Amino acid sequence: MFLFIAGAIPTLVGIVYTTVYPGKDAHVLAPLLIGIFFLVLFGLWETYGNIKHPLTPTYVFTAGKGRDLTAPCIALAVVNMFYYSSSILWPTMINVFYTNGGTDWRYGVLLSTVQGIAITTGGVALAVFGGMIKRWHWQLSGSVFIMVLFGVLLALGNPGNKGLMIAFVFISQTAYGWAIYLSIAISQMGVEHKNLGLSGGLSGAARFAGGSSKIYAPTPCIVSNHK
């Protein structure tokens, strides 16, 4: 636990510092190098330390050639990245493009509900149709693909295509609502019953680390040329 914390915290601190310092600055490099060093030590200790109760036993990652737990954990990290990116980009677009710099705040509040409604729609759709479709890994692959595709298409936003952006945000975040709950469930199903605690901790770490990386990564500015 000490080695993991000693590795994870400096690594995230280094990512945070990229928002205020150049990538070559010591404020960025020092915590990243220290964090990576301790994470490597953590991996070596877990693998070769002959521990009775390892936090990250190798066999849970290699089960099913990585498809049972490793892939869902990666999906969790990616899914949370796009949730937070949308939570930053869409309100910024609302403020800059569609509400006259936030002057029409009531309309801004209305537009901001699109994301929450979409996530709820995705979660409900998974609950209703997921069991009918089955093929859970393909469902996860498809929902993550749709989320990423329409999330990236938000880069096309401008003051003249509000309807298109609303549609893209809704589709992307509906897929997010489907993918986030499914990836958590698959990561739990990917281990034996005795390892449910391990899979929950590992998937939670992947989810929050991926989300933190996106929150603190430099976010591009949206600039309107319209007066």
Tell me the domains of the chain and their CATH numbers: 2-55 (no CATH), 61-216 (1.20.1250.20)
- Provide the pLDDT for residue 214: 56
pLDDT higher than 50, residue 219: no
Which pairs with CB-CB distance under 8 Å and at least 24 residues apart come from 157-162? 157/89, 157/93, 157/97, 157/222, 158/97, 159/97, 159/98, 159/224, 159/226, 162/97, 162/98
User: If you ran DSSP here, which 8-state letter would residue 33 be given?
Assistant: H
**Residue 166 to residue 112: CA distance in whole angstroms:** 10
- Provide the pLDDT for residue 218: 45
- Provide the pLDDT for residue 68: 84
- Provide the pLDDT for residue 116: 93
pLDDT digits (tens, 9 = 90+) for 105-157: 899 999 999 999 999 999 999 999 999 998 888 998 999 999 999 999 998 98
What confidence category does residue 226 fall into, taking pLDDT thresholds of 50, 70 and 90? very low
Cβ-contact 188, 123 below 8 angstroms: no
pLDDT higher than 80, residue 209: no
pLDDT digits (tens, 9 = 90+) for 35-84: 999 999 999 998 888 888 888 888 888 888 888 888 888 888 888 887 77
Which pairs with CB-CB distance under 8 Å and at least 24 residues apart come from 125-132? 125/174, 125/177, 125/178, 126/177, 126/178, 126/181, 126/182, 130/178, 130/182
Rg (CA), the chain: 20
Amino acid making up residue 222: I
The position carrying tokens 């521990």 is: 51
The position carrying tokens 């003249």 is: 160
- Residue 22: φ, ψ to 5°: -60, 155
Helix (H) or strand (E) holding 58: helix 58-62
Q: How many CA atoms lie within 13 A of 35 on its CB side?
A: 15
Q: Which structure tokens are listed for 212?
A: 């933190």
pLDDT higher than 80, residue 92: yes
